[in-house]
Amino acid sequence: MSTPVRTRIAPSPTGFLHLGTARTALYSWAYARHHGGQFVLRIEDTDVARSTQESVQQILDSMHWLGLQYDEGPFFQMQRLARYHEVVEAMIAAGTAYRCYCTPEELDAMREAQRARGEKTHYDRRWRPLPGKKLPPPPPGVQPVVRFCNPVDGIVTWDDLVKGPISISNHEIDDLIILRPPAEDAPPGSLGVPTYNFAVVVDDWDMAITHVFRGDEHINNTPWQINIFQALGAPLPRFGHCPIILGDDGQKLSKRRGAVSVTAYEEAGFLPEAMLNYLARLGWSHGDDELFTPAQIVQWFDGSHLARSPAQWDPAKLAWVNAHHMKQAADERLAAMVQRHLAGRGVVDAPLTQLTAAAGLFKDRCATVVELADWLSMFYVPVQASEADLQTHLTPDVVPALRSLRDLLALATWDKPGIAAAMKQALAAHGLKMPQLAPALRVLVCGRAQTPSIDAVLALFERTTVLERLRHL
């Protein structure tokens, strides 16, 4: 029997969930689901100074919003310190790690001397035990770090799920610090904190992770991790390093170049399934398909067809994808989202039944929930058409017909057929055609010259609101 697939996402809680991390979370989740495996959430909070509880919450909320359910976790690295210490001690005993007592000043001097000799700076392994090597006694008062005995020779090679075979020579990398002493002001008895490259290996080992998807900024870390896995005798996961996401200017997607957090897209009225669709396609393909549901992503995502080159964030395409998912979304669901957006604008009394009917009528013309809320707000807040629209559509021959219509609407049966009949009657009485009357009516009641079928739209208003908006003719 083959090992069950287990993937994980391991964000650091130093900010919101970045789009790049959301994409690797999606790939990890989809890969696990595709294979009937498990997906684990781990919070890498060892950067104590920059990690916050607020960020943890944002990450959890964004994962929840995207629908990326994890089967285990969240695990917190800071709750696993004792385990890292246990592994470190075992490594020291096995001779695959050692204590290094160099002070920062000594390390500076070492690098300075290397630079002066024209060498690449590196740790010169002065505290690394070797058969026959005599180490000085530990200097008093210096809290040691623990370093990994990286192999001195040889090449680390792995077959990356995204990039294919990658090799890095051990000459390129030195004896990594895997554990730092507790900070000087830490309470007595505090444990030192492991570095990323070490904690990640212990965790991926303990959590039996079989496939690691992450951003390609970690490629240079992978050789260390592979060496540590091997020193521990732990099974190696497969690695897949996804290229970074570029902004629409071809530069790395960053805060300065627009929204990079999942939360910002939620607030801007994008649907989670559209985000998953767009993120999946950004770095992965399934034939020529551009539109898919989360279930299809799971069905098709088998770790192949991942792009090797960076993808570019395209807001127009995301809007197009979202518009498609808006059309597919249930009216009640959109209505509930619009209700929240409207409440944020101070419109607190918009009834769900009315919003549901209106969402059905308007969702086809909206790229986002915010656009839909913009439309539906006309039912609750006064509208103001532009001067240009008023001038174009409220012509002298139309105004008398609008007055008649107002009087007819005051008595009409208040539903679509009743309103349509009143409009017909007004048109006949004034010898006008629908394309003359309808835009003028829209401008006054809805604030815009184009809407879905006006009788259907009017039927969603309270009669009194429509009459009020036609009062000043």
The interface mask with ligand GLU, positions 36-75, x = CB under 6 A, is: --------x-------------------------------
- Select 12 or 150, whichever has its Cβ closest to ligand GLU: 12
The answer to whether 244 and 217 have CB atoms below 8 angstroms apart is: yes
Pairwise CA distance, residues 156 & 175, whole Å: 15
Stretch that binds ligand GLU, among 5-13, 54-62, 123-131, 325-333 (CB under 6 A): 5-13
Here's the x/- map for ligand GLU, 151-170, by CB under 6 A: it reads as: --------------------
Nearer Cβ to ligand GLU (6/128): 6
Rounded to a whole number of angstroms, the minimum distance from the CB of residue 162 to ligand GLU is 13
Candidates 7-15, 88-96, 391-399, 400-408 — which segment interacts with ligand GLU by CB under 6 A? 7-15
CB of 337 to ligand GLU, least distance (A): 30
DSSP 284-348: B--TT-----HHHHHHH-SS-SB-SSPEE--HHHHHHHHHHHHHHS-HHHHHHHHHHHHHHTT--
**Site membership for ligand GLU, residue 176 (CB under 6 A):** no
Alpha-carbon distance of 468 to 463, in angstroms, equals 9
Closer residue to ligand GLU, CB minimum distance, 218 or 324: 218
Name which of 11 and 243 has its Cβ closer to ligand GLU: 11
Dihedral through CA 247, CA 248, CA 249, CA 253, nearest 10? Answer: -10
Distance CA 29, CA 6 (A): 9
Q: Are 162 and 150 in contact (CB under 8 A)?
A: no
State which of residues 218, 257, 324, 416 lies at the interface with ligand GLU (CB under 6 A).
Answer: 218
To the nearest whole angstrom, how small is the minimum distance from the Cβ of residue 214 to ligand GLU? 4
Q: Least distance in Å: CB of 126 to ligand GLU?
A: 30
Count CB atoms within 10 A of the CB of residue 80. 18
Q: Which of these segments, 8-16, 62-70, 160-168, 440-448, binds ligand GLU (CB under 6 A)?
A: 8-16
Least Cα distance to 441 among 407, 408, 470 occurs for 470
- Measured in degrees and rounded to the nearest 5, phi and psi for residue 76 equal -115, 125
Query: CB-wise, 207 or 274, nearer to ligand GLU?
Result: 207
One of 11, 194, 240, 294 touching ligand GLU (CB under 6 A) = 11
CB of 268 to ligand GLU, least distance (A): 24
How many residues make contact with ligand GLU (CB under 6 A)? Answer: 7
Nearest-10 crossing angle of helices 196-206, 222-232: 50
Q: Which residue has the tokens 């009949």?
A: 421
Under rule CB under 6 A, residue 12 binds ligand GLU: yes
Nearest partner of 367 among 296, 259, 274, judged by Cα? 274
Q: How far apart are CB 204 and ligand GLU at their closest, in Å?
A: 8
Q: Position of tokens 């490629």?
A: 219
Assess contact for 252 and 246: CB atoms under 8 A: yes
Closest approach of ligand GLU to the CB of residue 22, in Å: 12
Q: How far is the CB of 257 from ligand GLU (least distance, A)?
A: 20
Residues 6+ apart with CB under 8 A from 287: none
> Which positions from 434 through 453 interact with ligand GLU, judged by CB under 6 A?
none
Of 208, 224, 216, 44, which is closest to residue 148 (Cα–Cα)?
224
Of the pair 46, 322, the CB lying nearest ligand GLU is at 46
What minimum distance in Å lies between the beta carbon of 9 and ligand GLU?
7
Q: What are phi and psi of 8, to 5 degrees?
A: -155, 160
Binding flag, residue 200, ligand GLU (CB under 6 A): yes
22 binds ligand GLU (CB under 6 A): no
Least distance (Å) between residue 153 CB and ligand GLU? 26
Least separation in angstroms between CB 222 and ligand GLU? 9
Give DSSP secondary structure letters for 162-202. TTEEEEEEGGG----EEEEPPPTTSPTTPPPEE-HHHHHHH
Coil, helix or strand at residue 387: helix
The piece of 9-17, 244-252, 344-352, 379-387 that touches ligand GLU (CB under 6 A) is 9-17
Which of residues 5, 6, 10, 442 is near ligand GLU by CB under 6 A?
10
The DSSP output letter for 145 is E
Q: Which residues bind ligand GLU (CB under 6 A)?
A: 10-12, 44, 200, 214, 218
